Amino acid sequence: MCYAIPGKVEAINQKIVTVDYYGEKKKAINEFHELSVGDYIYAQGGYVIAKVSPHQAQEVLTAWQELFFKLQEIDEEKSRFLPDKKARENKVVAIFDRVNNGHQATRDDLRYLLALKKRADLELFFKAANFLRQKYHKNACCVHGIIEISNYCTRNCYYCGISCLNKNIKRYRMSKKEILDSVEEAVVKYGFKALVLQSAEDKDYSIDDLVDIVKTIKERHAVLVFVSFGEIGKRGLEKLFEAGSRGLLMRFETSNPKIYEALHPGYSLESRIEELKYAYKLGYLIITGGLIGLPGQTDEDIINDIYLAKDLNTDMYSFSPFIPHPDTPLAKNPPPDEEKVLKTLALVRFTVPKEAKILVTTGFETLSPSARKEGLASGASSVMLNVTPLKYRPLYSIYPARAHEKDSIDAQIQETIELLKSLGRAPTDLGI
Ligand code: 5AD
């Protein structure tokens, strides 16, 4: 969704346009559109994706205006952070004060926060993270859609239910027509402005097939396309960028090379990181992160994961709990507790308060029914809705009983809008 309220172009400096949204100024990159000052545009993830007529823009702006300011008010109210005298003596508040004053949290700070156990300390930590989210991101909540186009996989990831090691599942591959129909439904019927196309590492889709699909989508629709096809090599990234995709979703899974190599025999963390760095250089918006609760992982590893994501210039941080799948080598390993996941999200906010969009992942929602509400109230600022055709969704079984596996797109949108309204968040993405 990301209803992307239209903005008015106020200034143009080569590719960078300054856009006004009800008085708020944002910047966006314009690559494809003939623009003049005074034009109205839609932007997503800092990219101009469409020019709209003044008439259409005014209509949407008028419809949104009242709600926009009302939601901002609710959010401001809910994200106030006014620790009382006793709380002011808490070390959490001392760390918050430094971060709030523009200083970097130290590794010791992060260690301290990640180790918190007492309810009162945790509440302060989560509330402080929510304050920082509001301070820098206002009430914007990115709502991307994801389409999972194939579960055929050549990789052997030990945690993953659709890896080539699992012989017990039914495989599927959506045809080009099915993919384009799903994209059309998401964009035209439901108004999504940013979509992730995801696939297992299915060698039956050549890069040229994927390029053809992305190109056709970009010809037909004003939508920001993220690709998520695993490691496709530098040439693959270049070709898909040329085709018009501007985002890459690929987790590095863990920053610990020993854990990485134990869980992906024959593959190296280094090559994955190389690809993420190259994608950023090409101009992709990066969504990445790691799995929380992998066997052998320590708190220090989680902190390193956050630092690695930061070093990779991540736009949206995607940290998910590991959830055991019965038909994988990690079937007997427990998932992490919910609190650890929530602490990780809040910790990302403390580490990169201004820059980070932070996703509440489907994995977290699967672990905890209140994940979205709690995550969004603890520093997170984004959600993803699954717009894969319902008949395929249960087959993309990276772990069992995934949240929203059976929910129609309609139902997911209803639920999301209700929740966002109650929190004072707007499903918008106003750029950078
Ligand atoms: N638990 C949580 N996340 C998983 N993924 C794969 N298997 C699991 C699991 N058991 C995630 C990986 C991968 C993404 C597509 O799915 O992080 O990058």
Of 182, 173, 133, the C-alpha closest to 359 is 133
Residue 253 alpha carbon, nearest atom of ligand 1? 17
Each residue of 72-84: b (16+ CB within 10 Å) or e? Answer: beebeebbebebe
Residues above pLDDT 90, as percent of the chain: 89
- Residue among 362, 360, 344 nearest 400 (CA): 362
162 C-alpha vs ligand 1 centroid, how far in Å?
A: 9
Please list every protein residue whose CB sits less than 6 Å from any atom of ligand 1.
Answer: 159-160, 251, 253, 291, 320, 322-323, 325, 363, 398-399
Ligand 1 midpoint to CA 321 (Å): 8
Per-residue pLDDT at 429 exceeds 60? yes
What DSSP line would sit under 149-202, residue for residue?
EE-------TT-TTSTT--SS---B--HHHHHHHHHIIIIIT--SEEEEEE---
Per-residue confidence band for 63, with pLDDT thresholds at 50, 70 and 90: confident
Q: How far is CA 104 from CA 83, 386, 389, in A?
A: 21, 35, 43
Q: Whose CA is nearest to atom 6 of ligand 1?
A: 160
pLDDT of residue 430: 56
Place of tokens 């025999």: 265
DSSP 8-state code for residue 393: G
Residue 383 contacts residue 365 (beta carbons within 8 Å):
no
Cα–ligand 1 centroid distance for 191 (angstroms): 27
Q: Are 177 and 169 in contact (CB under 8 A)?
A: no
Closest atom of ligand 1 relative to the 291 alpha carbon: 17
Q: 96 C-alpha to center of ligand 1: Å?
A: 32
> 3-state class of 203 per DSSP?
coil
Confidence tier at 1 by pLDDT (50, 70, 90): low
Dihedral pair phi/psi, residue 78, rounded to 5°: -75, -20
Distance (Å, whole) CA 102 – CA 138: 17
From atom 7 of ligand 1, which residue's Cα is the shortest distance away?
A: 160
C-alpha distance from residue 277 to each of 250, 259, 305, 338 (Å): 11, 21, 15, 31
| CB neighbourhood size of 392 (10 A) | 19
The predicted-structure confidence for 295-336, as pLDDT tens digits, reads as follows 999 999 999 999 999 999 999 999 999 999 999 999 999 999
For residue 119, the CA-to-ligand 1 centroid distance in Å is 29
Per-residue model confidence (pLDDT) at position 45: 84
Distance 399 CA to ligand 1 centre (A): 7
pLDDT of 432 above 60: no
> Using alpha carbons only, what angle is made at residue 339 by residues 411 and 2, rounded to the nearest 5 degrees?
35
Atom 16, ligand 1: which residue's CA is nearest? Answer: 398
pLDDT tens digits for range 155-212? 999 999 999 999 999 999 999 999 999 999 999 999 899 999 999 999 999 999 999 9
Give the distance (Å) from ligand 1 centre to CA of residue 398: 6
3 vs 18, higher pLDDT: 18
Contacts 24+ apart (CB under 8 A), 370-374: 371/338, 371/341, 371/403, 372/419, 373/419, 373/423, 374/126, 374/342
Q: Identify which of 149, 159, 228 to mutate to test ligand 1's pocket (most ligand atoms within 8 A of the CB).
A: 159
pLDDT classification of 60: cutoffs 50, 70, 90: confident
List the residue whose alpha carbon is closest to atom 13 of ligand 1: 251
Q: Closest ligand 1 atom to the C-alpha of 198?
A: 15
Yes or no: say if 232 and 240 are a contact pair by the CB < 8 Å rule: yes
pLDDT number for residue 203: 93
Atom of ligand 1 nearest to the CA of 398: 7
The rounded Å distance from CA 63 to ligand 1 centre is: 39
Percent of the chain residues topping a pLDDT of 70 = 98
Q: Whose CA is nearest to atom 2 of ligand 1?
A: 322
CA-closest candidate to residue 310, choices 92, 107, 81: 107
* Token digits of residue 341: 């996941």
CA of 324 to the centre of ligand 1 (A): 10
From 146, 149, 155, 160, the mutation candidate for ligand 1 (largest count of ligand atoms within 8 A of CB) is 160
- Closest ligand 1 atom, CA of 160? 7
Per residue in 100-146, pLDDT (tens digit) is: 999 999 999 999 999 999 999 999 999 999 999 999 999 999 999 99
Ligand 1 atom 8: residue of nearest CA: 160
Rounded distance from Cα 415 to ligand 1 centre (Å): 24
- Helix/strand/coil for 28: strand
Structure tokens at 257: 């090379």
Pocket of ligand 1, candidates 147, 320, 325: which has the most ligand atoms within 8 Å of its Cβ, to mutate?
320
Q: Within 10 Å of residue 90's Cβ, how many Cβ atoms?
A: 17
Rg (C-alpha) for the chain, rounded Å, is 21
The model's pTM is: 0.96
The ligand 1 atom at the shortest distance from the C-alpha of residue 335 is 1
Q: Compute the distance from residue 103 Cα to the ligand 1 centre, in Å.
A: 33
- What pLDDT digit, counting tens, does each position of 387-396 carry? 999 999 999 9
- Per-residue pLDDT band for 2 (boundaries 50, 70, 90) equals low
Mean predicted confidence (pLDDT) in 254-279: 98
